[in-house]
Amino acid sequence: MRAPLAQPRGQRLTAEVIKTEEKGSDVKLAVHLLNDGWLDAYDCAMVVSNDSDLAEAMRLVKQYHTKRIGLITPGTGRPSRQLMAHADFSRPIRDNALRRSQLPDPIPGTNIRKPVRW
């Protein structure tokens, strides 16, 4: 796809880029959180995200079910206020735990490497 350059040079305003953004995972998580709650498939759900788009699904689970919801947040920022309003408890993912949870670089038997910023 083409995307605008942050610092255009002369006539060149865009560049061809590879967009690797995953789409729809928040919607899928919200649907499963609600559906599994209605099916009584859990007593306590753990939401691993800081995406406030999940707040409405969490609110509905809390409104219509006696389910507990834990919030596990990646990164160093504060948990979303919208998510915290519907969480029974929250915990950060510590950097050390995240590092220990990653696959080796490269993944054995492949040429797949993790991004430098990880």
pLDDT in tens, 56-100: 999 999 999 889 999 999 877 899 999 999 999 999 998 888 888
Tell me what pLDDT residue 97 has.
85
As a whole number of angstroms, the distance between CA 31 and CA 63 comes to 15
Looking at domain 23-118, which of 3.40.50.1240, 3.40.50.1010, 2.40.50.100, 3.40.50.300 is its CATH number?
3.40.50.1010
pLDDT digits (tens, 9 = 90+) for 5-34: 988 888 889 999 888 777 788 899 999 999
Q: Within 10 A of 87 (CB to CB), how many other CB atoms are there?
A: 22
Tell me: pLDDT of 109 over 80.
yes
E-only strand ranges, the chain: 2-9, 12-16, 44-48, 68-73, 89-92
Tell me what pLDDT residue 17 has.
87
Task: Work out the widest C-alpha separation in the chain, in whole angstroms.
Answer: 60
Assign 114 a pLDDT band (cuts: 50, 70, 90).
Answer: confident
Is residue 80 within 8 A of residue 92, CB to CB? The reply is no
Q: Can you name the residues that pair with 84 across neighbouring β-strands?
A: none
Give the residue extent of every domain in the chain. 23-118
